[in-house]
């Protein structure tokens, strides 16, 4: 095994522990000799077979096309099938592989069932919360340091629903990287500077109330903002707003004090909402941090000959290949002050100097894709090679997120609404047991419903939100994941927790037990895939399938009434399924419930 592990690493391929065991058979049966290929070349051609609704028996398959020099034409299909049949006939089973068969262009291998059960269950229960992340798959992946910027609301404004996606997506990426052993700095880059604060400052002077600011800051500032926007059509109001922001930039003590109150109260409110979402940050930064440093950036651009002035006096950077201004980015106003992108340039440079990170990830809506494209291009022109380590993870819009009254709502209203609906559903459900804290349970289950519906597709895609679909207790929903976890936890509590060393897992021969084992075997592959493209949908799909398989097994493989030996083996199987389900849910930002 150790020798083979060395061969695999030498081949540069990442492998799961289960695949490593299977490939011992590959060497032993002489498959590489039959095909006249070195073992490391076969690694790329062998994969675990996903569990599907249709019953299957194979665990791994070898793709004949991938070991054939010319397999580009469809007309080769009959020939490939014939090759698969011939190869299957030449191979012999042993203590590892119990069955070999030919499929459409594949050779299928079924692992000895007792070995499968022992290998998977021992690994799951031994590794616990680290199952999957300790896999051979990640043995060649270097541990890195990442700065992840996400959520990043504009202060003095209530969270809108768009912030939910940035917050939960960024939290997922951070959770995944931490689980895989990377160092992560979770950063919240607040929109706390700009002309809008001139308008808000004047608005508060005209319509504000200090007591309301203390008791309900974001709601009150929202009301002030609505009022001042109506008054902003007046030229005198516009002038007052410009004067207020000018004083802010000049660090006028009274003006700065009011702005600081807006910022501090906003952060306190945001932290309260983040707590409900189960999210935390290591750093709260903001545009205001880079007001002065953005001036240094403009000076650097000028010194490098990158800053050009337009007829109107604005500062631009030419991004076109032919240097004909067919593509450019505006980085300075005509009065010499900085813009959002200038402050972003200063922030990126400062973060890299401070953290010297291996990757810098920005999680925002896809509407900002052009902004980040310009940001990265300018950094490259400035000579910062580390820009290659910067990445924009974009996401689409949430459509249809409205209350019963049909109004567009804020994030906290969504959280309250989903909790309220879950409380009603739980109260009316026949299967609901007496729960210690129904409000907290409803909150966790409701959040799971929001997260799973959000994460089921590609992040870059828009999706249609549906209250009814999200809150269903059956089907592919977060509610179903929570229900499955609570049910499996209840099973453990009822029948105790036996150690695997006292259990004969060889009696787990039923098809429904094998399906669960086969699916558990693939968890590390799913984690690896999500770690490569930062898409949570792979984990979501895996967990939903696991929940459906566990639900079927729970019905067909009773613990109660079975012989002690069989009951303990089945209990061990369900314990492993619940453990992996909980691990995956936590990565997604979901807190598993134990009662429902």
Domain boundaries, the chain: 2-111, 145-303+335-395, 411-588
User: Coil, helix or strand for 114?
Assistant: helix
Residue 376, token pair as written in the block: 């990265």
Beta strands 97-103 and 106-111 are antiparallel
Buried b (16+ CB within 10 A) or exposed e, 137-153: bbeeeeeeebbbbbbbb
As a whole number of Å, the end-to-end CA separation of the chain is: 44
For the whole prediction, is pTM greater than 0.85? yes
Angle between helices 438-455 and 478-495 (to 10 degrees): 130
Strand pairing category for 183-190 and 283-286: parallel
Which residues touch 449 (CB under 8 Å, ≥6 apart)?
A: 418, 422, 470, 471, 477, 478, 479
pLDDT for the residue numbered 408: 54
Which tokens belong to 576? 């492993």
CB neighbour list of residue 79: distance below 8 Å, 6 or more residues apart? none
Question: What is residue 7's predicted lDDT score, i.e. its pLDDT?
Answer: 35
Q: Which residue reads 């061990």 in tokens?
A: 572
Taking the C-alpha atoms of residue 533 and residue 104, their distance in angstroms, rounded to an integer, is 29
Residue keyed to tokens 């380590």: 389
- Structural contact between residues 152 and 283, judged by C-beta atoms closer than 8 angstroms: no
Q: CA 247 to CA 259: how far, in whole Å?
A: 11
Q: For residues 595 and 444, give the distance between their C-alpha atoms in angstroms, rounded to a whole number.
A: 11
pLDDT reported for residue 40: 65
**pLDDT number for residue 249:** 87
> Could you count the other beta carbons within 10 Å of the beta carbon of residue 113?
17
For 479, half-sphere exposure in the C-beta direction (CA atoms, 13 angstrom radius) is: 20
Helix/strand/coil for 102:
strand
Q: Is the distance from CB of 596 to CB of 441 less than 8 angstroms?
A: yes
For Cα atoms 297, 300, 301, give the angle at the middle one, nearest 5 degrees: 90
Number of Cβ within a 10 Å radius of residue 54 = 5
* Total residues found in the chain within this entry: 596
Q: Which residues are catalytic?
A: 157, 160, 163
Task: With CA atoms as reference, report the closest residue to 563 among 499, 491, 489, 503.
Answer: 503
Is domain 411-588 annotated with CATH 1.10.3720.10? no
145-303+335-395 fold? Rossmann fold (3.40.50)
Is-same-fold flag (145-303+335-395; 411-588)?
no
Find tokens 């592919």 and name the residue. 476
Tokens of 552: 């079927």
Structure confidence at residue 8 (pLDDT): 34
Neighbours of 135 (CB within 10 A): 23
What is the structure's pLDDT at 20? 58
Residue-by-residue pLDDT tens, the chain, 596 positions: 333 333 333 333 344 555 556 655 665 566 777 777 776 667 667 777 888 666 666 888 888 887 775 544 444 566 788 888 888 888 888 888 889 999 888 999 898 898 889 889 989 999 999 999 988 788 889 999 999 999 999 998 888 877 899 999 999 999 999 999 999 999 999 999 988 899 999 999 999 999 999 999 999 998 999 899 888 888 999 999 989 998 998 999 999 999 999 999 999 999 999 999 999 999 999 999 999 999 999 999 999 999 999 999 999 999 999 998 899 999 999 988 889 999 999 999 999 999 999 999 999 999 999 999 999 999 999 999 999 999 999 999 988 766 555 555 788 888 998 999 999 988 887 666 678 899 999 999 999 999 999 999 999 999 888 888 888 888 899 999 999 999 999 999 988 655 545 688 889 999 999 999 999 989 998 999 999 999 999 999 999 999 999 999 999 999 999 998 999 999 999 999 999 999 999 999 999 999 98
pLDDT recorded at residue 465: 85
Cβ atoms 231, 206 nearer than 8 A: yes
Domain 2-111 falls under CATH 3.30.1360.70: yes
323 with 372: CB under 8 angstroms?
no
**What would the DSSP string read from start to end of 522-584?**
THHHHHHHHHHH--THHHHHHHHHHHHHHHHHHHHS-STTS-HHHHHHHHHHHHHHHHHHHHH
Those residues whose C-beta lies under 8 Å from the C-beta of residue 27, and which sit 6 or more positions away, are 4, 39
Q: What's residue 21's pLDDT?
A: 60
Secondary structure of the chain: what % helix, strand, coil (to 5)?
A: 60, 10, 30
Distance CA 145, CA 585 (A): 24
Q: What is the pLDDT of residue 3?
A: 36
Residue 573: which of 491, 494, 463, 483 has the closest Cα?
491
Identify whether the C-beta of residue 96 lies closer than 8 Å to the C-beta of residue 22: yes
């Amino acid at each position: 095994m150790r020798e083979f592990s060395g061969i695999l690493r030498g081949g540069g391929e990442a492998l799961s522990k289960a695949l490593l065991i299977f490939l011992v058979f590959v060497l032993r049966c002489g498959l590489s000799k039959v095909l006249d290929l070195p073992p490391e070349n076969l690694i790329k051609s062998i994969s675990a077979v996903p569990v599907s609704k249709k019953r299957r028996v194979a665990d791994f398959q070898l793709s004949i096309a991938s070991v054939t020099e010319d397999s580009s034409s469809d007309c080769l299909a009959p020939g490939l099938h014939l090759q698969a049949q011939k190869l299957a006939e030449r191979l012999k089973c042993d203590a590892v592989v119990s069955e070999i068969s030919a499929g459409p262009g594949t050779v299928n291998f079924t692992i000895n069932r007792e070995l499968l059960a022992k290998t998977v269950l021992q690994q799951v229960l031994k590794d616990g919360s680290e199952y999957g992340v300790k896999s051979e798959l990640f043995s060649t992946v270097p541990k890195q340091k990442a700065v992840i910027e996400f959520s990043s609301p504009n202060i003095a404004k209530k969270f809108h629903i768009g912030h939910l996606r940035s917050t939960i997506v960024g939290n997922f990426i951070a959770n995944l990287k931490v689980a895989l052993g990377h160092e992560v700095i979770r950063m919240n880059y607040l929109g706390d500077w700009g002309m809008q604060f001139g308008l808000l400052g004047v608005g508060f002077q005209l319509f504000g109330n200090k007591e309301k600011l203390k008791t309900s800051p974001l709601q009150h500032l929202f009301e002030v903002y609505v009022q001042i926007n109506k008054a902003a059509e007046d030229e005198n109001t516009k002038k007052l707003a410009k004067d207020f922001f000018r004083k802010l930039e000049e660090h006028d003590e009274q003006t700065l004090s009011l702005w600081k109150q807006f910022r501090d109260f906003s952060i306190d409110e945001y932290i309260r909402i983040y707590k409900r979402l189960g999210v935390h940050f290591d750093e709260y930064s903001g545009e205001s941090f880079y007001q002065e440093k953005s001036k240094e950036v403009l000076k650097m651009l000028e010194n490098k000959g990158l800053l050009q002035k337009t007829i109107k006096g604005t500062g631009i950077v030419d991004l076109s290949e032919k240097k004909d201004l067919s593509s450019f980015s505006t980085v300075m106003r005509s009065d010499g002050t900085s813009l959002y992108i200038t402050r972003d340039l200063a922030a990126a440079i400062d973060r890299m100097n401070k953290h010297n990170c291996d990757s810098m990830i920005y999680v925002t809506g896809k509407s900002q894709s052009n902004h980040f494209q310009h940001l990265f291009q300018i950094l490259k022109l400035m000579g910062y090679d580390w820009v290659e380590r910067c990445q924009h993870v974009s996401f689409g819009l949430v459509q249809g997120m409205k209350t019963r009254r049909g109004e567009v709502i804020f994030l906290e209203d969504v959280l309250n609404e989903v909790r309220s609906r879950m409380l009603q559903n739980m109260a009316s459900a026949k299967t609901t047991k007496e729960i210690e804290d129904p409000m907290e349970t409803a909150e966790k289950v409701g959040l799971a419903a929001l997260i799973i519906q959000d994460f089921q597709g590609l992040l870059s895609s828009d999706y249609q939100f549906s209250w009814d679909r999200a809150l269903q207790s059956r089907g592919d929903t977060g509610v179903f994941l929570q229900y499955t976890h609570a049910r499996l936890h209840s099973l453990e509590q009822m029948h105790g927790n036996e150690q695997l060393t006292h259990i004969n897992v060889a009696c787990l021969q039923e098809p429904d037990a094998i399906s669960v084992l086969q699916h558990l075997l693939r968890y590390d592959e799913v984690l690896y895939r999500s770690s490569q493209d930062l898409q949570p949908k792979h984990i979501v799909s895996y967990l939903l399938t696991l929940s459906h398989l566990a639900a079927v097994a729970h019905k067909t493989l009773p613990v109660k009434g079975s012989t002690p030996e069989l009951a303990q083996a089945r209990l061990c199987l369900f314990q492993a399924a619940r453990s992996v389900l909980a691990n995956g849910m936590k990565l997604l930002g979901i807190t598993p419930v134990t009662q429902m």
